[in-house]
Amino acid sequence: MFFLKNLRTWESAARIVVGIALVALGFLGIHGALLGRVVVATGTVLVLTGLVGWCPMCAMVGRKL
């Protein structure tokens, strides 16, 4: 299935940078705690949506590029 991109280029780049920072924080700063796992999961989702350029939550509210 093909999806139209609903994230702008700058927003995708920001999601990737913030996502990598969250993953690093989760692994290095809050290692082993439940909060650390939540932070890593959130960072992973941000990186994936930034790489793909499509966010399901933005699509749910009808956001288009």
Other beta carbons within 10 Å of 56 = 10
- The structure's pTM equals 0.87
Measure the CA–CA gap between 9 and 15, rounded to whole angstroms: 10
Per-domain boundaries in the chain: 9-60
Q: For residue 21, give the DSSP letter.
A: H
Q: For residue 58, give the DSSP letter.
A: H
pLDDT digits (tens, 9 = 90+) for 13-44: 999 999 999 999 999 988 778 999 999 999 99
